[in-house]
Amino acid sequence: MSGGIELNLKLRNDDSINYYHLDPGKMGVGLFGYFTAGLNIFNVENGEWISGELPIIKPNSKDEWKHAWLSLIRSGEQKEIILHYIKLWRN
């Protein structure tokens, strides 16, 4: 299976404290794909997995982590994250 999919995620912080989250807009979708391992959807009717692939970019070092890649989501705030997966395949 080829093609792509656009995934619109709503990230909502219902807690009373603020959090930081990985932001694909700041770090780029390639690094985001490296750290999050992509999209996996399971079809319960036929037991089939569908996986999506982001363009992967490895960090310079496996220990590399930058605060600049994170965005703050405040208590009670909601954000939308849009990801474009470039390829889909069935497992």
- Mean pLDDT computed over every residue of the chain: 86
CA nearest neighbour of 4 among 89, 81, 82, 87: 87
Q: Looking at the predicted structure, is the pLDDT value of residue 6 above 80?
A: yes
Structural domains of the chain, count: 1
* 35 Rama sector, left if φ>0, alpha if ψ -120 to 50, beta otherwise: alpha
Q: Looking at the predicted structure, is the pLDDT value of residue 1 above 60?
A: no
Q: Looking at the predicted structure, is the pLDDT value of residue 80 above 70?
A: yes
Question: CA 75, CA 56: separation in Å to the nearest integer?
Answer: 31
pLDDT in tens, 41-72: 888 998 888 887 777 888 888 778 899 999 99
Which residue range(s) make up the domain with 80? 5-90
